Amino acid sequence: MTKTKTPKPFTRRAFIETGIRGVTVAGLSTTMVGQWACHPERDKRTFGACHHDCPDCCSWEVTVNNDRVTKFQASTSNPFTAGKLCNKMDQFPVEVTYHPDRIQTPLKRIGPKGSAEFTPISWDQGIKEVAEKLKTVVADHGPQAVLPFGYAGTEGLIQNNLMSNRFFTQLGASRLGRTICGDAAASGTEAVMGCTTGILPEDIIHARYIILWGTNTARSNQHLWPFVTSARSAGAKLVVIDPYLSETAKQADWHIRPRPGTDVLLALAMIKTILDEGLQDQDYIDSYTSGIELLKSYVRDFEPEKISAGVGLPPESIRTIAREYANGDPAVIRVLIGMEHQANGASAFQAVTMLPAITGAWRKHGGGLLHYTYELFGQALNWQRLEFSPESKNETREISMIQIGQALASSELDPSIKALFVYNANPAVTAPNQNLVVQGLQREDLFTVVLEHFVTDTARYADYIFPATTQLEHWDLMVSWGQNYLNLNEPAIPPVGEAKPNSEFFRLLASAMGFGEAYFQETDLDLVKSAFDSNHPYLQGITFRSLRKTGWARLNLPDPWIPFAQGNFPTDSGKCQLFPPDGVTIPEYVPVARGPEEIAHFPLKLMAIKSTAHFLNSSHANAERLRTEEGAPRIDINAADAEIRQIQDGDNVWIYNERGELKLKARVTDAVLTGIVSIPQGFWSMYLPDQSSVNALTTDRWTDRGQGAALQETWVEVVRMS
């Protein structure tokens, strides 16, 4: 649950720590536009970009009249955004910024924890009382009794975690291990390439064999999808590897459905087939890789016939995908985080990342691996200026966000967590082992402060809630983990009500705590401008002033971008590591051990997946329009498993395991394999029966490396309710 370590200079963790991973669409209804009539002589246009934890990071334009938004639309000039926002964001001003339920003043709890009974107070009173309580906690229990809990509710470099990181570093609080998503994937990829950056997303149009591995691109990476379809129009074959019949899989030329958690077996069997049949690019291997002989020895036991039963695929299907991929001209594999949330998540990414080097796919424009892009921004911008506070502090303990329930309920932590600050996050919904999380939030001796737009499932348990600004109301600089366009987010309107940016909350609290360091006095605008203090060639010609005129800019990357055509991997040797130099971090398949009693009681494996079309994680799940369009969550169950349990489509069912239970309607479907059930993530518990969502069932165990969340290692039973 706790671990002490020194972060690398720039990693997926560093990216998350500082803010992260056509036709014009008008975001406002005609009613809104009519209500705030446009007067061209007084209209003001500003630029911004989406703040969500999404690879697309869409650019937008906002028109304002008399400090009210009159028009909200996607950028038509940014070729990646291409004039389209997703359905989650196209009515953002209505459904978030101007929502009638938005918190507009600080709130203080007056009822029992969880009752959502609050009274409005002033900022001065709220900051004063929070500072007094925080000083008491530190005096009585030490600074490590304080835990910040923030993630990617906004990925802006300023509002995500910049000032809060300075504040909690100065305080000496416990650190949050922000590894629930992406770190296991990065760990596996970096073990091979020394980085996570492969080809650029738009270059997928040059590929002629495309594998989307563990990603529902048509739904979760919508602005990449047009480039995929363009490649298909030019003759590319699209293969989707996913246990679930997703919207993307339905449109594939070939849908390959391995058993959940067996991706590493499939990848190693593909490598074995390619090497056995002489389909590898031996010249590329000899020139630009290391460890091939050790890899050959390692994969000798991964014959397709040997792993077929475990993967759930015929041996010939495994051989066919290996042959077709090796002969792709060029071939690209797109990965996101779909196969990360399993016990062998890092190993799966490590094995898959070897494939482009073995086949020499890196040689050609559009060939290789398409993964993250955040490292490009880390190199271009003055990242060190933004990442941490200037003064180094003593190392402090780390608490895993994945095991936040254990941390809050633990009697063994010394000191125990006595104060919790939540911002850019909704752990009562998004953290696994949900019932344990809620149990911890209910503690009367846990002082909880939440910065939010709405009274979320987490905010219901707060002692104080402070109103946060939305993306239309503050400065920020938006980078992306899924594309290569930099965006300036300029405030379009003054803050609604008494809302303040996250950064300002921590400035005020720092002052009340007596922290006089100069870096607490820097304004958001100062911080945004400081990021451009860089002479890196990727930033050439891109300045704060230029972005105010355009809103966005493409990083100045070499064209064409073929980064590893001649090796030059950022490893110690400069070569792609087909077998790790340490001989330890090898891609392994280690199934989770389960006893006979557990197998008998909980025989069905649960996939808790991001399959909703209208929510992003837990964001927007309170918007009535989007909830209505999404519909109530259901559990997908295969017909064979349903027949055994006498379940018919539409029946009310009870889903349970040792951690919790849910009551939902069943959907009997071939979208899941036998022995597998699936429930979507993102729904707020307060809107569901028995106040529970899917994370009431999920495990809080870690992945093999990277301290990722092995959410899919969850087993349940499903019973028809009479």
pLDDT > 70? residue 265: yes
Q: What CATH homologous superfamily does 198-371 map to?
A: Dimethylsulfoxide Reductase, domain 2 (3.40.228.10)
| Per-residue pLDDT, 469 | 98
Separation between Cα atoms, residue 578 and residue 350, nearest integer Å: 9
- The structure tokens listed for 322 are 């290996």
pLDDT of residue 282: 98
CATH 3.40.50.740 range(s) for the chain read 102-179+383-470+496-533
Which stretch of DSSP H or E encloses residue 478?
strand 476-478
- pLDDT: which is higher, 67 or 38: 67
Q: pLDDT tens for residues 88-110? A: 999 999 999 999 999 999 999 99
User: What class is the 102-179+383-470+496-533 domain?
Assistant: alpha beta
238 and 321 Cβ atoms separated by less than 8 Å: no
Which part of the chain has CATH 3.40.228.10? 198-371
pLDDT of residue 690: 86
Q: What per-residue confidence (pLDDT) applies to 26?
A: 29
Q: What are phi and psi of 275, to 5 degrees?
A: -70, -40
pLDDT in tens, 140-188: 999 999 999 999 999 999 999 999 999 999 999 999 999 999 999 999 9
Cβ atoms of 74 and 81 within 8 Å: the answer is yes
Between 312-326, 383-397, 438-452, 593-607, the lowest mean confidence (pLDDT) is in 383-397
Residues 44-57 have a mean pLDDT of: 96
pLDDT level of residue 689 (50, 70, 90 thresholds): confident
Please say if the pLDDT value at position 32 is more than 80.
no
pLDDT average, residue stretch 564-592: 95
Residue 392: band (very low, low, confident or very high) from pLDDT cuts 50, 70, 90: low
Does pLDDT of 29 surpass 50?
no
Q: What is the pLDDT of residue 42?
A: 73
**Confidence band for 6, pLDDT divided at 50, 70 and 90:** very low
CATH of domain 596-720: 2.40.40.20
Q: Dump strand ranges (E) for 650-700.
A: 652-656, 661-668, 676-680
For the cut 90, the answer to whether the pLDDT of residue 34 exceeds it is no
3-class DSSP assignment, residue 468 = strand
Q: Which residue has the tokens 């909690």?
A: 168
Among the listed ranges 537-541, 574-578, 614-618, which one has the minimum average pLDDT value? 614-618
Angstrom distance (rounded) from CA 459 to CA 518: 32
Token digits for 345? 């998540």
Q: In which residue ranges of the chain is CATH 2.40.40.20 found?
A: 596-720
The one-letter code for the residue type at 73 is Q
